[in-house]
Amino acid sequence: MISTITINYKTADYLERMLESLFAYHQRGGIQVIVVENGSGDDLSKLKARFDEVIWIDSPTNLGFAGGCNLGLQQANDEFIVLLNPDIIFTDGALYQIRDAMRAHPDIGIGGISLKNLDGTQQACVWHFPEPFSQMLVLFKLHHLLPNIGPVAHWRMDDFDYGQDSDVDQVMGAFFCIRRKVIDSIGPLDQGFFIWYEEVDYCKRAREAGWRVHYFSGIQARHKKGSSFDRVPTVQKQNVLRRSVRRYMRKHYGPMVGLVFWILEPVFYLMSLLASLIKPM
Average pLDDT value for residue range 74-79: 93
- Rounded Cα distance between 141 and 129, Å, is 19
| Mean predicted lDDT score pLDDT of the chain | 93
Closest CA relative to residue 89, chosen from 66, 123, 56, 59:
123
Q: Confirm if 111 and 177 have CB atoms less than 8 A apart.
A: yes
Closest CA relative to residue 197, chosen from 250, 233, 157, 235:
250
- Rounded Cα distance between 39 and 24, Å, is 28
Average pLDDT value for residue range 79-102: 98
What CATH number should be reported for the domain whose range is 2-125+162-230?
3.90.550.10
Residue extents of the structural domains in the chain: 2-125+162-230, 130-160+232-281
**How many Cα atoms sit within 13 Å of 193 on the Cβ side?**
24
Residue 163 phi, psi (nearest 5): -90, 0
What's CA 275's distance to the chain center, in Å?
23
Write the pLDDT tens digit of every residue in 165-213: 999 999 999 999 999 999 999 999 999 998 899 999 999 999 999 999 9
Question: Among the residues of the chain, which ranges form H helices?
Answer: 12-25, 45-50, 64-73, 94-104, 132-139, 142-145, 150-156, 180-186, 198-208, 234-253, 255-263, 265-278
Write the pLDDT tens digit of every residue in 115-171: 999 999 999 999 999 999 999 999 998 887 888 899 999 999 999 999 999 999 999
Banded pLDDT at 34 (limits 50, 70, 90): very high
Q: Give me the pLDDT at residue 281, please.
A: 45
Write the pLDDT tens digit of every residue in 238-261: 889 999 999 999 999 999 999 999
Decide the pairing of beta strands 2-8 and 88-89.
unpaired
pTM of the model: 0.94
Q: Confirm if 227 and 86 have CB atoms less than 8 A apart.
A: yes
